[in-house]
Structure 1
Amino acid sequence: MIVDSHCHLDFPDFDGEREALLQRADEAGVKLMVTICTRVRKFDQIRALADAHEQVYCSVGTHPNNADEERGIPAEEIIALTEHPKVVAIGEAGLDYFYDHAKPEAQQEGLRTHIAVARQTGLPLVIHSRDADDDMAAILEEEMGKGTFPAILHCFSSGRDLALKGIELGLYVSFSGILTFKRSEELRDIARELPADRLLVETDAPYLAPQPRRGKRNEPAYTAMTAQTLADTRGVSLEEISRQTTENFFRLFKKVPVPAEFAHVRT
């Protein structure tokens, strides 16, 4: 069993094909997925997708590139939305200094709000970090000092120092199709070094399709390709990496019902 811990099923790239997409995922061994919210104001679309499909769960939050347009949404409003049974995570929120879509101060403000939500609800914060390693590490360390919260560095493509800081602070790290790219040797070195009990896999679909489908639309079924690369990188079998990352998923995403074969992770 493999879990796609981060995808965007609401994106128009999948219009008219979601049923077939979910079928292909199932056939590839991807039995669960979390479709990630990028705008709180469009959460209803995310929730509807999760409600319509047993294997789909969701998050609620504001992507850092949308931080300006959703600035000022209070933590209490997000917390209220987490009461829905299919909402299992917060975000994605974070810092993206690669693009200039939102002011850094708005992104940092939004990140801290989402951290407060994760701390209060106990739901994991899905963290987006791009070209912002120093600020991200500083904010995470400062906020952890105010009270711990569960979190994951999603679609990890940052430097080794941020990965190790995340592990030190108790975070998980998720790898996407970027791990499979030919020029991602430094990233594979990081993936090789991190503790097995903190690793997850994802697609970030429709983006970042793994080799050999790079440049095409990504989809949850392709999580299996990234899992294979992660297994090869760490010198273990696909079966082992699938088991480990799925155990890690259920350990972090505590609100997702756990099947009997993984019940031991919650004991």
Structure 2
Amino acid sequence: MACNPEFLKCYEERKQESFFKVVNSVAISSENMRAIPHDFARKFSDNELLGKMKIRVHWGSSWEVKISKNPRFYFMEKSGWEKFVTDNALGRNEFLTFTHKGKMHFSVNIMKQIGKEMLQPPQTRAFFASSSRFKTEQGVKTEEEVVSSDLNSRGPRTAPESNGEGMCRRKLNFEKKKAEESQNSKRTERVVGIQRDFAGTSSSSVAGFSIVITKSYLTSLALPVSVVNFMPRVKSVVKIHHPNGKKLWKVVFLVTRRGRLFSGGWRSLCMDYPVALGDTCKFTLINPHELLLVVTKP
């Protein structure tokens, strides 16, 4: 009987030593996050561990990370770990498995929060930033060319304009206007774009949830159980955006035995937004530390 090659591959990998990590943004660079589990480390000698480990992902990229030791455990040094985390845009509760392939070489499988494995490199924030900067510069250059063409078609100029003062003044005005428009656009585009992407989601979906405001909810707001796994696991400060992109509130997110809730800063948000008794607050999750809030009146 022919054997399934995928089964054989899984069977062989089960024989290899491995450990896992859940990467979240709250403690992404802490020693505990970078720690190598004791049950894994004890199967190797100090000479093997106090060196460098090489980690390789599915699409072929690899990173060398130095290993150090404190009185309690071995851990990956911060510089190498942060390079790996940044390059793969981690920090949203991804599930990582590190499988030892020999000689401190590890293959890493990255499972996203939605349960899907990452099979190709992410487009990092640096890529998007450089792309946006290129488009902005390109737009400014076009404006300059239009101004220059317009001035050339006007015929005789006054003495200051012929010396270039007029063109410089117009160029500066265009650049200033372009910069202001770019800042306003970037501030609102991200929030409004996310609102559009998640439009129509139900109140029980991962992307968002809705709460009708009662009297007690004007002081602190208890969150539904359905979104607990997608919020921070410890006390944190979260950002709540107004849909117009111009307002932002920082609110304390508390983790208690009775549940999760918005506390410090929530009352000020209700007064400023404003949120009143009977209103429906619809939250859309941007990431574990940022939400979009849309309020509808009864």
Q: Structure 1-normalised TM-score?
A: 0.24
Q: Determine which structure has more spread, i.e. the larger CA radius of gyration.
A: 2
- Structure number with the higher helix fraction is 1
**Larger relative CO (CA 8 A, sep 6+): 1 or 2?**
1
